[in-house]
A and B are shown apart, each in its own frame.
Chain A
Amino acid sequence: MADDAPRNPNILPPVVLPPVVRELFDRFGEQHLVYQQSKDDAPTVWVPLELRDPVLVFLKHHVPKPYKMLLDFHAVDERMRRHRHGLPPSDFTLFYHLLSIDRNSDVRIKVALLGEFPVVKSITNIYANANWYERETWDLFGIQFEGHPNLQRIVLPRYWKGHPLRKEYPARATEFDPYLLTAGRQDEEQNALRFNPEEWGMKRSEKDHDYMFLNLGPNHPSAHGAFRIVLQLDGEEIVDCVPDIGYHHRGAEKMAERQSWHTFIPYTDRIDYLGGVMNNLPYVLAVERLAGIKVPARVDTIRIMMGEFFRITSHLLFLGTFIQDVGAMTPIFFMFTDRQKAYDVIEAITGFRMHPAWYRIGGVAHDLPQGWDRKVKEFLDWFPKRLDEYQRAALDNAILRKRTKNVAQYNTAEAVEWGITGPGLRATGLDYDLRKKRPYSGYENFEFDVPLGKNGDAFDRAMVRIDEMRESCKIIRQCLSHMPAGPYKADHPLTCPPPKDRTLKDIETLITHFLGVSWGPVMPPNESCQLIEATKGINSYYLTSDGSTMSYRTRIRTPSFAHLQAIPYIIKGAQIPDLIMLLATIDFVMADVDR
Chain B
Amino acid sequence: MNAILEFLTAPASVAILIEVGKGLVILFGMVIVAALLIWIERRLLGLWQDRYGPNRVGPFGSLQVVADMVKIFFKEDWIPPFVDKPTFIMAPMIAMGTLMLAFMLIPITPTWGVAPDLSIGVLFFFAIAGLEVYAVMLGGWSSNSKYSLLGGLRSAAQMVSYEVFMGLALMGVVMQTGSFALSDIVAAQKDVWFIVPQFFGFCTFALAGIAVVHRHPFDLPEAEQELAAGYHTEYSGMKFGMFMVAEYIGVVLISSLLVTLFFGGWQGPVLPPVVWFILKTAFFVVLFILLRAALPRPRYDQVMGGGWKFCLPLAVLNLLGTAAFVLSNP
Contact partners of B150 in chain A: CB under 8 A: 214, 236, 576
Contact mask for chain B residues 145-186; partner A; CB cutoff 8 A; 1 contact, 0 none = 011001001100000000000000000000000000000000
Contact partners of B77 in chain A: CB under 8 A: none
B residues 179-204 with Cβ under 8 Å of A? none
In the complex, what distance in Å separates the CA atom of A402 from the CA atom of B224? 19
Are A334 and B299 touching (Cβ within 8 A)? no
Contact partners of B227 in chain A: CB under 8 A: 576
- Given A326-B297, A402-B298: A221 in contact with B50 (beta carbons within 8 A): no
Are A576 and B294 touching (Cβ within 8 A)? no
- Given A214-B146, A576-B226, A577-B226: A333 in contact with B296 (beta carbons within 8 A): no
In the complex, what distance in Å separates the CA atom of A214 from the CA atom of B293? 30
Are B225 and A330 touching (Cβ within 8 A)? no
In the complex, what distance in Å separates the CA atom of A397 from the CA atom of B295? 8
Residue of B nearest to A215 (CB): B146
Contact partners of A397 in chain B: CB under 8 A: 295-296
Task: Give the distance to chain A from B316, nearest Cβ to Cβ, in Å.
Answer: 24
Contact mask for chain A residues 199-227; partner B; CB cutoff 8 A; 1 contact, 0 none = 00000000000001011000011100000
Are B49 and A334 touching (Cβ within 8 A)? yes
- Given A324-B225, A403-B298, A577-B226: A329 in contact with B50 (beta carbons within 8 A): no
Residue of A nearest to B48 (CB): A330
Q: Is the C-beta of A400 less than 8 angstroms from some C-beta in chain B?
A: yes
Q: Is the C-beta of A575 less than 8 angstroms from some C-beta in chain B?
A: yes
In the complex, what distance in Å separates the CA atom of A215 from the CA atom of B51? 34
Q: Is the C-beta of B216 less than 8 angstroms from some C-beta in chain A?
A: yes
B residues 225-253 with Cβ under 8 Å of A? 225-228
Per DSSP, are chain B's interface residues mostly helix, strand or loop, or mixed? Answer: helix
Contact partners of A328 in chain B: CB under 8 A: 294-297
Task: Give the distance to chain A from B285, nearest Cβ to Cβ, in Å.
Answer: 18
Are A330 and B226 touching (Cβ within 8 A)? no
Task: Give the distance to chain A from B313, nearest Cβ to Cβ, in Å.
Answer: 19
Are B295 and A399 touching (Cβ within 8 A)? yes
In the complex, what distance in Å separates the CA atom of A451 from the CA atom of B226? 30
Contact partners of B147 in chain A: CB under 8 A: 214
- Given A399-B296, A399-B298, A575-B300: A580 in contact with B49 (beta carbons within 8 A): no
- Given A327-B217, A333-B49, A334-B49: A222 in contact with B226 (beta carbons within 8 A): yes
Q: Is the C-beta of A394 less than 8 angstroms from some C-beta in chain B?
A: yes
In the complex, what distance in Å separates the CA atom of A394 from the CA atom of B293? 12
Are B49 and A327 touching (Cβ within 8 A)? no
- Given A221-B225, A333-B51: A400 in contact with B299 (beta carbons within 8 A): no
The residue in A222, A327, A399, A580 that gathers the most chain B C-beta atoms within 10 A of its C-beta is A327
- Given A236-B150, A328-B294, A329-B293: A221 in contact with B301 (beta carbons within 8 A): no
Contact mask for chain B residues 207-232; partner A; CB cutoff 8 A; 1 contact, 0 none = 00000000011000001111110000
The answer, among B51, B146, B296, B297, for a CB contact under 8 Å with A394, is B296
A residues 235-262 with Cβ under 8 Å of B? 235-236
Residue of A nearest to B301 (CB): A575
Q: Is the C-beta of B22 less than 8 angstroms from some C-beta in chain A?
A: no
Contact partners of B45 in chain A: CB under 8 A: 329-330
Contact mask for chain B residues 20-57; partner A; CB cutoff 8 A; 1 contact, 0 none = 00000000000000000000000001001111000000
Contact partners of A236 in chain B: CB under 8 A: 150, 154, 300
Are A580 and B51 touching (Cβ within 8 A)? no
In the complex, what distance in Å separates the CA atom of A220 from the CA atom of B230? 12
Are B50 and A580 touching (Cβ within 8 A)? no
Report the interface size class on chain B: 20 to 34
Contact partners of A575 in chain B: CB under 8 A: 299-301
Contact partners of B49 in chain A: CB under 8 A: 329-330, 333-334
A residues 376-407 with Cβ under 8 Å of B? 394, 397, 399-400, 402-403
In the complex, what distance in Å separates the CA atom of A324 from the CA atom of B299? 14
Residue of B nearest to A407 (CB): B299
- Given A221-B228, A327-B216: A403 in contact with B51 (beta carbons within 8 A): no
In the complex, what distance in Å separates the CA atom of A221 from the CA atom of B299? 17
Residue of A nearest to B298 (CB): A399
The answer, among B224, B297, B300, B302, for a CB contact under 8 Å with A221, is B224
Residue of B nearest to A581 (CB): B299
The answer, among B146, B153, B292, B301, for a CB contact under 8 Å with A329, is B292
In the complex, what distance in Å separates the CA atom of A578 from the CA atom of B223? 13
Contact partners of B154 in chain A: CB under 8 A: 236
Residue of B nearest to A220 (CB): B228
Contact partners of B50 in chain A: CB under 8 A: 333-334, 337
Task: Give the distance to chain B from A586, nearest Cβ to Cβ, in Å.
Answer: 15
Contact partners of A215 in chain B: CB under 8 A: 146
Given contacts A214-B150, A333-B51, A403-B299, 19 further A-B contacts (CB under 8 A): A221-B224, A222-B225, A327-B217, A327-B296, A328-B294, A329-B292, A329-B293, A330-B45, A330-B49, A330-B293, A337-B50, A399-B296, A399-B298, A403-B296, A403-B298, A576-B226, A577-B226, A577-B299, A580-B225
Which 9 residue pairs spanning A and B have beta carbons closest together?
Answer: A327-B297, A328-B296, A326-B296, A333-B49, A327-B296, A222-B225, A577-B299, A325-B225, A400-B296
